[in-house]
Every structure is written in C-alpha cells, then in structure tokens.
Structure 1
Amino acid sequence: MSLLLNSFRSHFFKHLSCTSFSSIRGTQNLTSRCVFKLIGSTRDHPSRNLREFLNSSPVTAAFSTSSSASETPTTGSYLSVDIQSRQDVADMLSEALLCFGAVSTSVFEPDSGDSNDEISIVSIFDVSHDVHQSIALAADSIGLKETPVYKVTTGYHSDWIENARESFHPIEVTEGLWIVPEWITPPDVEAMIITLNPGLAFGTGDHPTTKLCLLLLHTLIKGGETVLDYGTGSGILAIAALKFGAALAVGFDIDPQAITAARHNATLNNIGPDKLALQVVPSNISPASTDQWQWAMKSDGVTEHAVEIVTEKEKYDVVVANILLNPLLDLADHIVSYAKPGGVVGLSGIILEQVPTVVDRYSDILEGITVSQIDDWACIRGTKRKTG
C-alpha cells in the first residue's frame, strides 16, 4: 500500500491528537502517556492535520479533471523524512513521532522476514519544523539511546496529489464488484460499479480494512436494510450498502472535508439525499451524551432532522465502523447503541494482534463474534445482544 494512499486515510474520532504535544516538548510524562496509550495501533499513522496541511480548498477538487483542479492551492512544500528504525520499536517510534510534530507516518515492512532488519518510517513534517529535535525527542521518549539515522527531502503538495491520483486504479473487490475512479472508464460494464473520487478522505477500496468491510456488507445486505457508516470518510461503505440493496444509509464523520467528498461520491453514483444522509458531527464532546451532541449540533445551525439522524439509537440493521483501535475501544458502547437489538456490527481498522483486545471490549454487548482477515488486517463481526 503506497505512502500516498496510506496518508490520505481519514479515521473517525481519533481521540488523542498527538501533534498537540509538540507545544510541550520535553514534558516526558505526558509524552510517554501519549506514546504508550497508542501502542499496537495500525502501522499507518495519519493525522487529520494532513488534509488541512495539503489543501484547504474543497476536497472534491483534489483529484478533479475539471479546470477547478488547476486553481487548487497545492503549490506549497513539505518535508518527507525517511527514518531507519529497528523493527521491534518501529510502531512505538512511529506513534512518538506524531506526538512531536509529524503530521503523518507510515511504516514499511522489510523485504525479508528477518526481525533484526531495519525498516523505514516515512514521516511528513511542515517545512518550518525542527525535524532533528522531533526525531531526537521521539526516540528518547521510547527509551532509544541514539537518534535514528534519517534522510530529509522536500516534496510539493501538487506532486503529492498527482501521484496519489496516479496510484488509484480500478479495484475488483470481489467478482462482479468494482471500485472505479471517477476519471477512468470501468473495465467491466456488466459489473456493479462504485464510482469514486476519494479526494483527501479515506476509502478507495484498496486498503484491506475497506475491502473487508465491503465484503461484509456484500454478505449482509439482502435488500431493504438500514445501514450506518460510523466514520464515513469518502462514503464508500454507505454507497456500497445502497448499491447492494439497502433501503437507507447514513454516514457521519467529524471531518467536513470527508462529508464533502462523500456527498460528491453519492452524486457520482446517482444516489440522492433521500437514500444517503451525510452529516458532520462534533468531535470534542463525550459521545455518550446525547444531550451534548444535540446542543453542539444545534449551536452550529444544524437542522432538527440532521440532529435526529445522528442521535437516534437502535435504528440500524447494520452498523459498520472502520476507524482505529483506540476509538473502537473508547466508543464501543456508542457505536453499538445505533444497532437494533439483533443487528450486526462490523468493526475494522485494526491489525490481527489487536483482535483479542477489541473482542474482549465488545464481548458484553455483542454475541456470535467472528473475525475475517486479509493479510495482517482484521474485521470483527458481531450481533447486538437483545435485552430482556
């Protein structure tokens, strides 16, 4: 999976914004808490700051073939830092780099299976950032005695977006189901086609977790179901559910650019708001409090209908959340609360070694839990327990 697509990944409700710790460099206790709380998370660690960092214009223009694409302000530069790390500390170092100013990190596996091999961590920093200090502090925070060897190169936003577009090709999820970029002719006109322009939101169908969720929906949807895409990103899962025959799909996300991308993709697939409801939701309040959600959304001028969409519980036949380990754990009750008793909940965005932790967290609220996998990535499926 390329660095470019990895770094576009939009994960819903990543509670711990590690980059905020860059203002308190040297505060080792807080830094260590940040690092070790996130140990075991996915091997690609993007930050929501990346999308703002790359492009403050509407997300639908990011990969557009129209003239508006040339007007998108993508001429700025960034620093790409290739850090050589011992394999056994790569995940911890990757998380620590986010705590000290990286806006995105991706860990690349070695060519051989030798655990002693050094592997590459590619991190993105703002051009004004003190890269050496960030790497030194990150290394120290996880107990490394020496600063890792690294190489810094300058990249440009326009190149980033163009390269990402070039790396997004038609994807056959399963026989007869294709994800096709907006600017490419479908390779099989007889197949079910989901047309997509991901913009700067996660969800191209290429990543194993997205594919696992698509396959889960393909199995579950028989016709007439209601589906919630919890952290919709590009809207791909909600759109796919409707293509498979769901009666209604809802997607929400804390990122306005994700919702913009999802709405554009719904239009590309001839899906109207009567079938797919999309809504930005608050990110800085307790998800367990419906009253807080209602207050925050109304204060932003959101309609009563939109508030009802986000706060109505036990409504959906299927709930899917393709996010990150920590929000899956922190928001377990909130995620499952949207499913009807007996409804199916799908959880992804995690690697295989994290499955026992997630299963343990959900075992009291889901039953019949099963796990599917592609490579080292997993999707957990369970049924909401019926009360009474």
Structure 2
Amino acid sequence: MTWHQISVITDKDTAPALADLLSDLGAVSVTYMDAEDEPVYEPGIGETVIWSHTEVIALFEIDAEPDLIAAAARAKYRPELLREWRHERIEDQPWERAWMEHYHPMKFAERLWVCPTGQEQAEPGTVCLTLDPGLAFGTGTHPTTALCLEWLAGHDLTGKTLIDYGCGSGILAVAGILLGARSAYAVDIDPQALTATESNAVKNNVQDKIHCFLPEQLPALQADVVLANILAKPLCELSDRICALLAPGGQLILSGILKEQSASVVDAYRNAVRFQAPVQQEDWILLAGTRSRAR
C-alpha cells in the first residue's frame, strides 16, 4: 500500500491546531518531531512535547489530494507559519521488522546477551535474553537501560528478590531472573507495559518467577534489589515509596538521570541510602547504593 506523507514546520502555538486541521482533512496519523534539535528532557506524565519549532508530519491514504490539503492549510495560516512544506509518497512495509534491521545482539558485563528473535547467542558462561522491539520502552539500546543491564550482569543475584519499578518491557526483571534472582516483581503505571513484560517473560520461559502489578496493586514487601529506571523528577517524588520497598542492607539502582540531575536525586534518598560514585554513559548516569540497616 502507498501513502501520502505531508510534513511542515511551524511554531509550538500553531502545531496542535494544525495537527487538528490535518486530521479533519483525513490524516490517518499526525506526529510531532523536533525541527531544530531542541532538547526536552523530562515532559510531565501524559504531556505531549511541543518544541519551539515543530515539524508536523501527517499520513494520508493514497486517494487523498495533497494539493487541496496544502491549499486548505495555507488558507488558514500565514505563510511564515508553514515553512518547508513537503509531500512524498511512501510505500508500506512491516515497520517493526524494518526497525529490527538496526537491532542486533548486545552483550553486557561479559555475562548477559540481549538478542532479537532468531539471533540468540549460546556463548559458554553467559545467559541470553530474547527481546524484540514491541509495545513498551526498554530494549537495552538506550544508555539508561544499558547501565542497568551492566549492573545486573556484574553482580551476584543468586536467590535474591528483585523489584523492577517502572518496568516498561520488563527487560530488567527478565534479566534479573536469568541471572539467578529467585523472583521479580515488575511494576508500571501503564497496563501496556505489564502486558509487554508478561509476554517477554513467557518468551524467556521465566513467567513463573515474574509477577506484574500496577503500583496501587503491589503487595507489601521488601526486596533485596530495587531498580527504578524512570526519570529524575519521579525518582525524587517516589523516594519514600521506593525506599520502603527495599530491605535493610538491600541494593538500590536508579537510572534515567541526567548528570546535572544527580545531586537532587541523591539528596532525595540521603536519609535512607548510601550511594557509590555514579556510573556514566553519554549524558546519563546510574546511581547504585545500599539501604542503611535498621539499628
């Protein structure tokens, strides 16, 4: 199937209304892209990011008339608000497989492989986690996830309990079990993330050791290891909740933190956790620490 793709650059005030207009004109999807490499590090939950200069990209079925769509937009908005108007035809394809052409086996701490289906590794002394791009965040390619996988693969998890708070795809929970943890609890505010986690647990034959919960459904428990790969702001806001899930003497792993945010995160956990020196990959850091034992 062939599609019409129309894109145009506008400002952040015009972008939402322009997206609505394109939808009214028959667009089957409308997305926003950063037009000028403007960083937006931490949008609020449920917030749609609009950059100062935003590229609005709309996809139309092939029987749409791009010239009429352009005329309708130009009749409503001043010329300076519609920059670099472009139209192209694109061919349909299995998009998830196209993405996977760029997704290859990855090795962490010489002990853990993360591999797409069909590219599993069987190297002696390692374990292999099978994971394909899917419904939820977390494939190991982003530094925040890679840092957590490096930590997991570099520590002895034998017989330990683990909580993956903000589990996304469940990659950290699954990795923990494959690396020897006794059980893992995967927690996320998004039911779709729990679905993805359950699917990946089955794919790796560890479904009997991984338990999925929305935050409000998580039973009272304390784990030997708690990982939270989310963002600095929610890490700070949830510090009491996350610390309460960590057993005295347990290990806390926090990721999703930009280097300049580390001090505020450390401060939020200062009363309960003693952190080691941060580990950095690109602009992101991981904080690992131990909860103080009860006196």
Instruction: Show the counterpart of 1:312.
Output: 220
Q: Find the residue that maps to 1:363 and give its secondary structure.
A: coil
Instruction: Show the counterpart of 1:225.
Output: 160
Q: Find the residue that maps to 1:179 and give its secondary structure.
A: strand
Matched-pair contact (CA < 8 Å) for 2:42–2:231 = no
What is the alpha-carbon distance in structure 2 between the residues aligned to residue 187 and residue 121 of structure 1?
Answer: 44
1:78 matched to 2:13? The reply is no
Instruction: Show the counterpart of 2:278.
Output: 371
**Alpha-carbon distance, 1:324 to partner:** 1.0
Instruction: Show the counterpart of 2:269.
Output: 362
What is the alpha-carbon distance in structure 2 between the residues aligned to residue 80 and residue 156 of structure 1?
Answer: 20
1:348 matched to 2:255? The reply is yes
**Alpha-carbon distance, 1:167 to partner:** 2.3
Instruction: Show the counterpart of 1:324.
Output: 231
**Alpha-carbon distance, 1:381 to partner:** 0.9
Instruction: Show the counterpart of 1:256.
Output: 191
**Alpha-carbon distance, 1:374 to partner:** 1.3
Select which of 276, 279, 291 maps to 2:213: 279
In the alignment, structure 1 segments of 5+ residues that lack a partner are 1-21, 26-74, 106-119, 133-145, 282-292, 294-306
What is the alpha-carbon distance in structure 2 between the residues aligned to residue 336 and residue 157 of structure 1?
Answer: 48
Kindly indicate whether structure 1 or structure 2 has the higher relative contact order, using CA contacts under 8 Å at least 6 residues apart. Answer: 1
Q: Find the residue that maps to 2:134 and give its secondary structure.
A: coil
What is the alpha-carbon distance in structure 2 between the residues aligned to residue 78 and residue 205 of structure 1?
Answer: 28
Q: Find the residue that maps to 1:220 and give its secondary structure.
A: coil
Q: Find the residue that maps to 2:277 and give its secondary structure.
A: strand
What is the alpha-carbon distance in structure 2 between the residues aligned to residue 95 and residue 124 of structure 1?
Answer: 19
Instruction: Show the counterpart of 1:245.
Output: 180
Distance 1:158 1:78, change over 3 A: farther
**Alpha-carbon distance, 1:81 to partner:** 3.6
Distance 1:92 1:232, change over 3 A: closer
Equivalent residue letter for 2:137: F
Where do residues 154-169 of structure 1 align in structure 2 (5 Å cutoff)? 160-169=95-104
Matched-pair contact (CA < 8 Å) for 2:109–2:153 = no
Matched-pair contact (CA < 8 Å) for 2:120–2:128 = yes
What is the alpha-carbon distance in structure 2 between the residues aligned to residue 229 and residue 150 of structure 1?
Answer: 44
Distance 1:169 1:153, change over 3 A: farther
Equivalent residue letter for 1:186: E
Indicate the structure with greater helix content.
Answer: 1
Where do residues 146-157 of structure 1 align in structure 2 (5 Å cutoff)? none
Distance 1:121 1:189, change over 3 A: farther
**Alpha-carbon distance, 1:251 to partner:** 0.4
TM-score, normalised to structure 2, is: 0.72
Q: Share of identical aligned residues, percent?
A: 35
Distance 1:148 1:333, change over 3 A: farther
Instruction: Show the counterpart of 1:91.
Output: 39
Matched-pair contact (CA < 8 Å) for 1:221–1:241 = no
Q: Find the residue that maps to 1:245 and give its secondary structure.
A: coil
Q: Find the residue that maps to 2:278 and give its secondary structure.
A: strand
Residues 251-284 of structure 1: CA deviation (Å, up to 9, x unaligned) = 01111221111111111111132x1111234xxx
Bigger Rg, which one:
2
In the alignment, structure 2 segments of 5+ residues that lack a partner are 1-14, 18-26, 61-72, 74-79
